[in-house]
Every structure is written in structure tokens, then in C-alpha cells.
């Protein structure tokens, strides 16, 4: 496998055509100057000892050396071996509720931001476990599939908000179904689903979907965000400032309440645990400790484990080219001139 460690430096190769154009312009201007002084006896004597071909050769050597230096800066690398890297972990999807009710502030700063904060902390602690995130509201979508690229996972998590899913509602069953489609059941890995929601399921049959997942060996944990007493849902204007609370058709403020009963039932069916989110604790940390106690299975991933730097070869070539260019004289080499097949033609042109 071949790659460049710093491919951004290759953009500098665009300078080479400009340097070639500059050289051509200088040659044209030089030819005009020679024609202006061609009647001078002194100029003819000096020009006779000067080699124009060597000037072109020196320019070519210099341009090639610059190209080699740019390639060396990009640091070409070659993968030296590919081996099967054994990793031990679980396949874990987090189904994150992004419905409007997750903006309620009974957990600070609000339910959604609290959930995202815990997911970020979990990603930082992972080592070998695959993680993916499903966002759901009235429907469910995979925000990113199962991966061990934790940096990319954190970046994709940052853009999640209540606008991530256009359909309103809270379809927990749809989130479970989406996870089941995303798992690779051909891999013998332990599969875990963590559902983070306020539990107000109002679309689909979450209980039936949980049973179907449990039958395929998926362990389900649930995290309830909010309070059973309920909290109002803030409404924000275009400037991002709170302008009111969500109201029903009668003008009464709507309260969104945590439905713990359904979440406890889903966790029980999935042979997991239910956790109620608080302002002070990290519920995903407790889930991660529980997951670590599970029997983890090995999974293999073929990876190029080592790359050798090859920039030194290009530096050496550039050094030789620059050294050759510096010691190459502009004067005509007599023994080369003698074997030049166009020598007579050149003299005839000069006499004319």
C-alpha cells in the first residue's frame, strides 16, 4: 500500500509550470538581446564558447530537483506488511432521542445536551469496542454506523440536534428496528443497544421490537432523561433566544413527562438495566462498567500496521540534481561539440 503522509504539499507542484513559463520568457528575451548585438565581433567570440543546450539542461535539472523536494515534503510511504489485528469488544449502538421534548431543561442544560455529554465521555473511554449512533424522533436514522474511529464519531455527534430528524414524535420501536438493520449478525460479537430518551413513545410498538431484538441476542439498556413530574418545552426564535414554551391548542403550556414504566420494561426484555439520568451522575459510565463485565468476543480487522518513510530517496535525487546543475558549466564542451551531428549546420546558420 502506498500513500503520502502529507499530501497537501503536492499542491506545490503547480508552481513548476509557472517556473517553466518564466524560463521560456527569459530565453525569448535573451534571444532578442543576442540579435540586437549580433554584429559585434566581441559578442560573436563570446557566444561561440557559450552552450545554449547546457542552459536548457541546467534549467531542466533545477526544475526536476524542485519537484523531488516537493515529493519529499509530502513524505511518500509504503505499507510494509498487513496482519490480522485481533481486537476484543462489543458492537454498541446508542439510540438518541432528538424530539422537541428533549429540549426540556429539567436536566441541565437540557435533556439532549446532557445525553450528548455522556456519549462524548463514553467515546473517550472506549478501547476496542465499536460504537454507532442512531437518532430518532418520528423516524429513526443512522447518524454513523458501527466504528472504532472514535475521533470521527465525536465530530458526527457534535452536529446532532432536534432538527436532525424532520418527522416529529418519539418512535422508540423505529430506533430498535434501525439498530437491528445495522448490526452485522454474521460477526460473533456481543451486541448492545442503549436507548436514551424521555420515554414518551407515541409511534410504533417498542415492546414488540424489543422482544425481537432480545431473541437475536441483543442486550438493551435504557436511560430515562427528565422527570416524571414533567417540564415545559422551550420555544426559541430565529435568533436562538427563548420566546415562549410549547402550548396546546387551548393555550396551555405542555409538560413533557418521563415515562419510566415503558423504559424499564424494554430494559427488562433486553436483559439489560434501566437508569434514570441525573444532573450529577454519568449513567453511561455505569452501563459501560456493566458491559465490560460481559463476555467479550474477539473480532479481527486486517490493517496495514507499519509504513516506511521513503522521502530520503527523493531528497537524495534532488541533491544529486542540484549538485550536477551547480558544477555544470555554461561553456561549450569541445569533445561533445565534435560529435554533434548538427555541428556543420549550426556554423552555416551563424555565417548567414
- Can you list the domains of the chain with their CATH numbers? 2-75+310-351 (no CATH), 84-302 (3.40.50.410)
Backbone φ and ψ of 46, nearest 5°: -70, -40
Give mean pLDDT, residues 30-40. Answer: 65
Give mean pLDDT, residues 276-298. Answer: 81
CA dist 184 and 250 (Å) reads 48
On the question of pLDDT at 133 being above 80, the answer is yes
On the question of pLDDT at 45 being above 60, the answer is no
How confident is residue 84, by pLDDT bands cut at 50, 70 and 90? low
Give mean pLDDT, residues 206-210. Answer: 93
Share of the chain above pLDDT 70, in %: 80
Q: How many CB atoms lie within 10 A of CB 158?
A: 9
Query: Which range has highest mean pLDDT (167-171, 174-178, 289-293, 308-312)?
Result: 174-178
∠ CA 240-241-242, rounded to 5° = 125
pLDDT in tens, 315-340: 999 999 999 888 877 666 554 455 55
Backbone φ and ψ of 167, nearest 5°: -80, 125
On the question of pLDDT at 345 being above 50, the answer is no
How confident is residue 98, by pLDDT bands cut at 50, 70 and 90? very high
Q: According to the model, what pLDDT value does residue 313 have? A: 93
Q: According to the model, what pLDDT value does residue 205 have? A: 84
Average per-residue pLDDT for the chain: 83
On the question of pLDDT at 86 being above 70, the answer is no
Q: According to the model, what pLDDT value does residue 167 have? A: 85
On the question of pLDDT at 158 being above 90, the answer is yes
Cis amide leading into 109 (omega within 30): yes
Least confident of 22-26, 60-64, 109-113, 160-164: 22-26
Query: Which range has highest mean pLDDT (50-54, 308-312, 328-332)?
Result: 308-312
Give mean pLDDT, residues 24-28. Answer: 85
Q: According to the model, what pLDDT value does residue 73 have? A: 93
Residue 79: strand, helix, or coil: strand
Q: According to the model, what pLDDT value does residue 348 have? A: 44
Q: According to the model, what pLDDT value does residue 23 have? A: 85
Bridge partners of residue 192, in order along the sequence: 92, 219
Q: What is the pTM of this model?
A: 0.60
What is the per-residue burial (b if ≥16 Cβ within 10 Å, else e) of 5-44?
eeeebeeeeeeeeeeeeebeeeeeeeeeeeeeeeeeeeee
Least confident of 133-142, 281-290, 312-321: 281-290
Cell numbers found for residue 152: 470521527
Cell numbers found for residue 2: 502506498
CA dist 339 and 57 (Å) reads 18
Crossing angle of the two packed helices 15-36 and 52-74, in degrees rounded to 10 = 170
Least confident of 114-123, 127-136, 338-347: 338-347
Strands 130-136 and 76-97: parallel
Q: According to the model, what pLDDT value does residue 314 have? A: 93
Q: According to the model, what pLDDT value does residue 248 have? A: 85
Give mean pLDDT, residues 254-264. Answer: 90
Which residues, in sequence order, are CB contacts of 26 under 8 Å at separation 6+? none
What single-letter DSSP state applies at residue 310?
Answer: -
Amino acid at each position: 500500500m502506498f500513500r503520502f503522509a502529507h499530501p497537501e504539499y503536492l499542491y506545490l507542484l503547480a508552481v513548476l509550470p509557472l517556473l517553466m513559463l518564466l524560463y521560456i520568457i527569459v530565453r525569448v528575451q535573451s534571444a532578442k538581446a543576442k540579435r540586437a548585438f549580433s554584429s559585434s565581433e566581441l559578442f560573436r567570440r563570446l557566444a561561440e564558447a557559450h552552450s545554449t543546450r547546457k542552459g536548457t539542461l541546467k534549467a531542466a535539472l533545477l526544475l526536476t530537483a524542485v519537484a523531488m523536494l516537493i515529493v519529499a515534503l509530502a513524505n511518500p510511504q509504503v505499507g510494509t506488511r498487513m496482519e490480522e489485528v485481533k481486537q476484543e469488544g462489543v458492537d454498541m449502538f446508542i439510540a438518541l432521542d432528538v424530539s422537541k421534548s428533549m429540549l426540556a431543561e429539567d436536566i441541565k442544560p437540557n435533556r439532549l445536551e446532557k445525553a450528548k455529554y455522556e456519549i462524548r465521555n463514553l467515546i473517550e473511554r472506549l478501547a476496542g469496542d465499536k460504537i454507532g449512533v442512531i437518532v430518532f424522533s418520528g423516524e429513526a436514522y443512522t447518524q454513523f454506523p458501527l466504528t472504532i474511529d472514535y475521533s470521527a464519531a465525536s465530530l458526527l455527534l457534535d452536529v446532532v440536534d432536534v432538527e436532525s430528524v424532520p418527522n416529529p414524535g418519539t418512535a422508540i420501536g423505529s430506533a430498535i428496528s434501525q439498530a437491528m438493520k445495522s448490526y452485522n449478525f454474521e460477526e460473533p460479537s456481543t451486541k448492545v443497544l442503549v436507548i436514551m430518551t424521555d420515554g414518551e413513545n407515541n409511534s410504533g410498538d417498542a415492546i414488540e421490537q424489543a422482544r425481537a431484538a432480545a431473541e437475536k441476542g441483543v442486550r438493551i439498556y435504557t436511560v430515562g432523561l427528565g422527570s416524571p413530574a414533567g417540564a415545559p418545552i422551550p420555544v426559541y426564535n430565529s435568533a436562538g433566544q427563548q420566546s415562549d414554551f410549547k402550548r396546546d391548542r387551548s393555550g396551555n403550556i405542555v409538560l413533557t413527562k418521563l415515562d419510566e414504566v415503558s423504559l424499564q420494561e424494554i430494559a427488562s426484555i433486553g436483559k439489560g438495566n434501566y437508569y434514570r439520568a441525573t444532573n450529577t451522575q454519568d449513567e453511561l459510565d455505569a452501563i459501560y462498567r456493566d458491559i465490560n463485565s460481559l463476555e467479550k468476543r474477539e473480532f479481527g480487522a486486517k490493517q496495514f500496521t507499519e509504513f516506511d518513510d521513503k522521502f530520503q530517496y527523493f531528497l537524495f535525487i534532488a541533491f544529486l540534481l542540484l549538485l550536477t546543475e551547480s558544477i555544470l558549466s555554461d561553456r561549450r564542451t569541445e569533445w561533445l561539440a565534435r560529435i554533434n551531428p548538427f555541428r556543420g549546420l549550426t556554423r552555416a546558420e551563424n555565417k548567414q
